[in-house]
Amino acid sequence: MKIIVTGGAGFIGGNFVHYMLNKYKAYDIICLDALTYAGNMETLAPVQNNPKFKFYKADITDRLAVYEIFEKEKPDIIVNFAAESHVDRSIDNPGIFLQTNIIGTGVLMDACRKYGITRYHQVSTDEVYGDLPLDRPDLFFTETTPLHTSSPYSASKASADLLVQAYHRTYKLPVTISRCSNNYGPYHFPEKLIPLMIINALADKELPVYGKGENVRDWLYVEDHCSAIDLIIHEGKVGEVYNIGGHNEKTNLEVVKIILKELGKSEDLIKYVTDRPGHDMRYAIDPTKIHHELGWLPATKFEDGIKKTIKWYLDNKEWWQHIINGEYKDYYAKHYSKK
């Protein structure tokens, strides 16, 4: 089995690469990543000498490069993590999100049609559903919830989902889609909420919290997400959408306070800042479908996962310090320039 993982130098994609190489010793895992700001080759350092792993620096919007890789590797499965994914950045510069998340997805599926695959899997997000009101804790996103986006990021991901479904219907491309809640865990880029709060707290810096910190997210430990995608690409029904949720709803303020408590830091470090435009209030996923059809359930409670995450950041300071000072961008040139 040969699997191309796009965006495999990013947070979730990188964790998926580690997960698959560890679980399937006979599989060939090919990582394709453009190494934009959030792509970090240091995330893949533990596997770069694994004979079953191969890396290509390429942009999924580059049709020629993508086709050349498909021609050479002849993959069986494509798992597309490659995406611009930070909401704040999408508000500042929507264009790159449309290019990567929509056009790039189309290029990948055209390559799948041309060279043939057994499964194309699109990694999406619960943000395509919009948000839920805080005063209706009985409401959850299901796979039939209408798409109702709030940011250029979520609109680009919803557009990609619709394109994937269109390729399935029009060209019979064997596809699946998963929509996950907020991930956390090792190798999370420092601008995201949980790693940012951990790193700032360690340095006794202010912890910026949007608005009053009332926004609710369903937190999913990244390894649980990887196990769900593993199940979907092997056993999921072609053409289907699967929601992947963590059953761990927390307000942003609760998350920040838990981190401060774990690190023994004062809540005086919290600083409330002007809220993000169009900030979704609550995300909450109902993962009943993937549980009933594939037997998946999240294995990690937030209280346990956040402890493991904090420990990882404490044990791997060099990784995130290299990001903060920009050294991570030099890793590819240093280790791959002669390959």
Distance CA 337, CA 339 (A): 6
Q: What is the pTM of this model?
A: 0.93
pLDDT, residue 91, reads: 77
- The model's pLDDT over 231-247, given as tens digits with 9 standing for 90+, comes to 999 999 999 999 999 88
Evaluated on CA atoms 254, 183, 101, 291, the torsion sign reads negative
pLDDT, residue 332, reads: 63
* Mean pLDDT score, 129-135: 87
- The model's pLDDT over 316-325, given as tens digits with 9 standing for 90+, comes to 999 999 988 8
Q: Closest by alpha carbon to 125, among 305, 278, 245?
A: 245
Band (138; pLDDT cuts 50, 70, 90): confident
* Mean pLDDT score, 176-181: 96
Distance CA 134, CA 138 (A): 10
| Amino acid at the residue 246 | G
Q: Greater confidence, 327 or 180?
A: 180
- The model's pLDDT over 185-197, given as tens digits with 9 standing for 90+, comes to 999 988 889 999 9
pLDDT, residue 331, reads: 64
Band (135; pLDDT cuts 50, 70, 90): confident
Per DSSP bridges, beta strands 77-80 and 175-180 are: unpaired
Residue 89 has pLDDT above 80, yes or no: no
Question: Using H for helix, E for strand and C for coil, what is the string for 111-154?
Answer: HHHHHCCCEEEEEEEHHHHCCCCCCCCCCCECCCCCCCCCCHHH
Q: For the beta carbon of residue 267, count every other beta carbon within 10 angstroms.
A: 11
What is the average pLDDT score of the chain? 92
- The model's pLDDT over 303-318, given as tens digits with 9 standing for 90+, comes to 999 999 999 999 999 9
Do residues 249 and 255 make contact, with C-beta atoms less than 8 angstroms apart?
Answer: no
Q: For the beta carbon of residue 262, count every other beta carbon within 10 angstroms.
A: 16
* Numbers of helices and strands, H then E, in the chain: 13, 12
pLDDT, residue 296, reads: 98
pLDDT, residue 335, reads: 59
Distance CA 121, CA 285 (A): 19
Give Cβ neighbours of residue 69 (< 8 Å, ≥ 6 apart): 4, 30, 32, 56, 58
Q: Greater confidence, 279 or 180?
A: 180
Positions marked active-site: 126-127, 153
pLDDT, residue 190, reads: 87
90 by DSSP, 3-state: which? helix
Which range is most confident: 132-136, 249-253, 327-331?
Answer: 249-253
Look-up of token digits 């839920």: 132
pLDDT, residue 191, reads: 81
Band (283; pLDDT cuts 50, 70, 90): confident
Distance CA 248, CA 303 (A): 9
Q: Closest by alpha carbon to 40, among 326, 339, 328?
A: 328
Look-up of token digits 């965006």: 7
pLDDT, residue 275, reads: 79
- The model's pLDDT over 36-64, given as tens digits with 9 standing for 90+, comes to 877 899 999 999 999 999 999 999 999 99
**In the chain, what percentage of residues exceed pLDDT 70?**
96
DSSP string for 19-87 = HHHHH-TT-EEEEEE---TT--GGGGGGGTT-TTEEEEE--TT-HHHHHHHHHHH--SEEEE------H
